[in-house]
Chain A
C-alpha cells in the first residue's frame, strides 16, 4: 500500500517535503519511521490524516502522514 509522507522543519533531512511511499500492509507508524531511518522518538510529532497518533497506530492505504517536532524558542 502507499502512504503520503510530509516532512517539516528538522525532519526534511530524512527526505523530500512530500513523498509517496510504498509500505507493507499492516505497517505501523513506528515501522514507517524506521523505514525513513528516523530513530528519534522523544520530540517527534506524527499526524495521520491531520490527527495526532501514537507510534503503534496502524497505517492504511492512502493515509497522509505529517512528521515534525515543536520549536520552543522565543
Chain B
C-alpha cells in the first residue's frame, strides 16, 4: 500500500494509465542491483530512486576524480577524492528517503556477485570494462536474474536486455575472447573517450527497460541490440538470437 506522501510524490507517473497506483505498488516492491556508479550509473540511480524502486543496491569501488564530472551527474567538484558509492547513497537517500539504498564499496568479483545477485529482482550492468561485463552476464544467467545492459564509447551507445535461458545473453552476441583480448578491449574503450550526453541517453533507456519489465508493459530490448550513434543521429535495433553453442547459456560441444 502507498502512503499519502507516496501518492503525492508519485502522482505524475501514477496518472499514466499503464502505471496507476497498482503499478506504483509493483515498483515499490521491486529491487535492482546496479553495478557501476559512474556515467551510466548516475542517471540510472537518480531516475530509479526518483521513480520509487523499493530497494537499490550499488556496487562500485571507485573514487571520484576530476575527469569524471563531465558525465557522472550524481557528483560535484567538492566530492573529488571520495568513494562514489558513499556519496551516491547519501545523495539518493536525500532525493527519496522511501528507497532503501544498499552500498557495496567493493570491486565486483565472482564471490561477491554470487552472494548478492540473489537478493535482487534484476541486475543492471553499468560498468566500464569488459571483464566485469562478462562476469555479470555469467552470474546473472546462472542465478536466472533478468539483466539490463548499457555500454558507451565516444558518441555511441548500446543497450540489450537479457532474460536468462529465454533470450540471447551478452555472451551469445559478444562471445568472450581470451583474457588478454578482453583486457585490450577495455583499454581501447577507455582510449575512445566518451561524451556525457550519450551516457545520459543510454542510462535513461536502461532504467526504462527495468521499469517496463517490473510493470510488465510495453516492448523490450530482449533479443535485440540497440545501437545509438548520436554523432550521425543513427538509431538502430538489430535483432539477435540465442547462440545454441554459447558457453554461458547454451550447450557448448
Would you call B236 an interface residue if the criterion is a C-beta within 8 Å of the partner chain's C-beta atoms? yes
Task: With both chains docked as a complex, state the minimum distance between the C-beta of A25 and any C-beta of chain B, in angstroms.
Answer: 27
Say yes or no: B240 contacts A71, CB within 8 Å. no
How many angstroms from the CA of A71 to the CA of B174 in the assembled complex?
11
Would you call B31 an interface residue if the criterion is a C-beta within 8 Å of the partner chain's C-beta atoms? no
Q: Can you name the residue of chain B whose Cβ is closest to the Cβ of A9? A: B156
Cβ proximity bits B117-137 to A, threshold 8 Å, 1 near / 0 not? 000000000111110010000
Q: Chain A contact residues: over half helix, strand or loop, or mixed?
A: mixed
**A9-B156, A17-B234, A42-B181 are contacts. A73–B174 as well, Cβ < 8 Å?**
no
Say yes or no: B234 contacts A74, CB within 8 Å. no
Instruction: Give every chain A residue within 8 A of B126 (Cβ-Cβ).
Output: 74
Would you call B58 an interface residue if the criterion is a C-beta within 8 Å of the partner chain's C-beta atoms? no
Task: With both chains docked as a complex, state the minimum distance between the C-beta of B152 and any C-beta of chain A, in angstroms.
Answer: 5
Task: With both chains docked as a complex, state the minimum distance between the C-beta of B169 and any C-beta of chain A, in angstroms.
Answer: 12
Report the tally of A-B residue pairs with Cβ distances under 8 A: 84
Task: With both chains docked as a complex, state the minimum distance between the C-beta of A45 and any C-beta of chain B, in angstroms.
Answer: 7
How many angstroms from the CA of A17 to the CA of B234 in the assembled complex?
9
Contact of A73 among B190, B232, B234, B240 (CB under 8 A): B190
How many angstroms from the CA of A45 to the CA of B189 in the assembled complex?
16
How many angstroms from the CA of A68 to the CA of B151 in the assembled complex?
14
Instruction: Give every chain B residue within 8 A of A74 (Cβ-Cβ).
Output: 36, 38-41, 126-129, 150-152
How many angstroms from the CA of A49 to the CA of B156 in the assembled complex?
23
Say yes or no: B158 contacts A71, CB within 8 Å. yes
Say yes or no: A72 contacts B240, CB within 8 Å. no
How many angstroms from the CA of A51 to the CA of B238 in the assembled complex?
9
Looking at chain B, what size class is its interface with the partner chain? 35 or more
Chain A interface, number of residues (Cβ within 8 angstroms): 20
Would you call B77 an interface residue if the criterion is a C-beta within 8 Å of the partner chain's C-beta atoms? no
Task: With both chains docked as a complex, state the minimum distance between the C-beta of B119 and any C-beta of chain A, in angstroms.
Answer: 22
A→B interface (CB under 8 Å): 6, 8-10, 12, 17, 42-43, 45, 47, 50-52, 66, 68, 70-74
Q: List 16 A-B contacts (CB under 8 A).
A: A9-B154, A12-B232, A42-B177, A47-B238, A47-B240, A50-B239, A52-B173, A68-B227, A68-B238, A70-B130, A70-B158, A71-B154, A72-B133, A74-B36, A74-B41, A74-B150
Q: Beyond the given A9-B227, A42-B185, A70-B130, could you list 11 further A-B residue pairs with CB under 8 A, ordered by the A residue number?
A: A17-B234, A47-B240, A52-B241, A71-B151, A71-B152, A72-B128, A72-B133, A72-B151, A73-B194, A74-B126, A74-B150
9 smallest CB-CB distances across A and B, nearest first, come from: A71-B153, A74-B128, A50-B239, A72-B189, A9-B156, A74-B40, A74-B36, A73-B152, A72-B130
